[in-house]
Amino acid sequence: MYPKKELAQIVISACAQFNIETVVVSPGSRNAPLTIGFSSHKEIETLSVVDERCAAFFALGIAQQTRKPVAVLCTSGSALLNYYPAVAEAFYSNIPLVIISADRPKHLIDIGDGQTIRQENVFANHILFSANLIENPKYKTRNSQLIGEALQVAISQQGPVHINVPFDEPLYETVPVLKAYNFPHISLSSLDNSHINYEKLSKSWNVAEKKMILVGVNYPDADLHSLMDLYAEDDSVLILTETTSNLHHDKAIDSIDQLIFSL
């Protein structure tokens, strides 16, 4: 069964079309339409982690290891704020984490009732894109565009995005099918603006008497490790590796902070 709410159907359909294979859910009431829909989708694995802080880091770890976007879903209110540590980590580590939060309609925000906090743009300083949706049929096109853009940004720019989805009551009505929606995709190749002149770089490298390689954050990579092993045997090359580079060699300097402080 799938949620009767069209906005929930649009979000679920978009995640499926953008090949989000895993959604980590912290169960609640306001996010019930999305929880029902994701749990019913045959192409999406839905995992339940009750504590939101743990859920966000669990999703972050999956995204880091698979190098694919992973969504994390919570109910409305302060539940969303527990995602912030993982959002900041994803922002600085370039990990595609898709935050999906259920929310109350605007007329139910700041009314003195419990869990009626302001959720729009809550991660403003550490997010690549924020899609604040509106549950109203006349905003269907706008909502679809915002969701599609958010997922494209997460994939192409490799970082966290936030989709805030307000739902009014009732929350648990279902229908037997999920409607099909189309979302425009951006060609990832068209987003690559790096034009490196390898020939010029090679000439500069070969005439230099001394070279220094500084390695930042990297996923574990056997080919990259083999390349470092090769350069480590070159006496004209000095290799500095960050702790998070996942590269280790006896001839590489891995205590960069201590070296920089002394300079």
Q: What is the mean pLDDT of residues 200-222?
A: 91
Let me know: does 91 contact 129? Beta carbons within 8 Å: no
- pLDDT at residue 193, as a whole number: 55
Confidence of residue 210 (pLDDT cuts 50, 70, 90): very high
* Residue 108 confidence (pLDDT): 74
What CA–CA distance (Å, rounded) separates 12 from 59? Answer: 17
Average pLDDT over residues 213-217: 89
The fold adopted by the segment(s) 2-190 is Rossmann fold (3.40.50)
Segment 54-80 shows an average pLDDT of 95
Beta bridge partners of 214: 240
Per residue in 169-186, pLDDT (tens digit) is 999 999 999 998 888 765
pLDDT value at residue 192: 56
DSSP E strand stretches across 57-159: 70-74, 97-103, 129-132
Per-residue pLDDT, averaged over 46-73, amounts to: 96
Backbone φ and ψ for 80, nearest 5 degrees, come out as: -65, -35
Q: What is the pLDDT of residues 8-55, one digit of tens each?
A: 999 999 999 999 999 999 999 999 999 999 999 999 999 999 999 999
* Average pLDDT in the chain: 91
pLDDT at 106: 83
pLDDT digits (tens, 9 = 90+) for 227-236: 999 999 999 9
* Ranges for all domains in the chain classified under CATH 3.40.50.970: 2-190
pLDDT tens figures, 106-157: 877 777 776 777 889 999 999 999 999 999 999 999 999 999 999 999 999 9
β-pair type (70-74, 97-103): parallel
Question: How far is it, in rounded angstroms, from Cα 167 to Cα 162?
Answer: 16
At 90-109, the pLDDT tens digits run: 999 999 999 999 999 887 77
